[in-house]
Amino acid sequence: MATIAPSRPTVLAAVKALAVRASRWQTSPMVSIRAATRDDFLAIERFARLASRSNPTRYFEHWGRWGDFGVIAEADGPPCGAAWARLFAWKDVRDPCGSSEYPELAIAVDAVHRGRGVGTALLRELLAEAGQLGYPALDLMVDTANLAAMAVYTKLGFKKIGGDARLWMRATLRDSGACCQS
């Protein structure tokens, strides 16, 4: 027969907190990730407006053109996040460190799904797809105030190649699409 030791208030509080966290995870919808298609124009447009308030059109106008690729996260149906990349002509590259040979990526996740690994999963899939398509690297620009995003980008192998308040970062890809972890 098992005996149960009396709980101290701090232990009981910790157990309650864990139970609350566990119940949140159990009730959160399952998220699946799939390749983006031309039919995802409206989803890409919506997430582009979340990702870039200054000039979102550059990321979705004529979505599906040559050099566009991406992934969509869905939670029980509707998209809850997207990561996509697009090649820009030299005249449209935003930073002197950028290149028309490396696609620039954008990513956005609905607020209710942030902090649950959705963005990380989207980026891993996008990096894998870029590698399969034969791209040597992916670029992005991030505001240094966005610490959560910078932590994810760094964890996935992006390195600073320019900028101060807004960083230009690049992930060099292997043939498999995985980031180099040097």
Per-residue pLDDT for 180 more than 90? Answer: no
16 or 47: which leads in pLDDT: 47
Among 67, 103, 47, 128, CA closest to 120:
128
pLDDT tens per residue across span 72-83:
999 888 899 999
Per-residue pLDDT for 19 more than 90? Answer: no
Beta strand segments in the chain, E: 31-35, 69-75, 79-86, 104-109, 137-143, 159-162, 166-172
Q: Which domains does the chain have, with CATH numbers?
A: 30-172 (3.40.630.30)
Minimum mean pLDDT range among 89-93, 167-171, 173-177: 173-177
- The model carries a pTM of 0.74
- Give the residue-averaged pLDDT of 122-126: 96
Q: What's CA 6's distance to the chain center, in Å?
A: 45
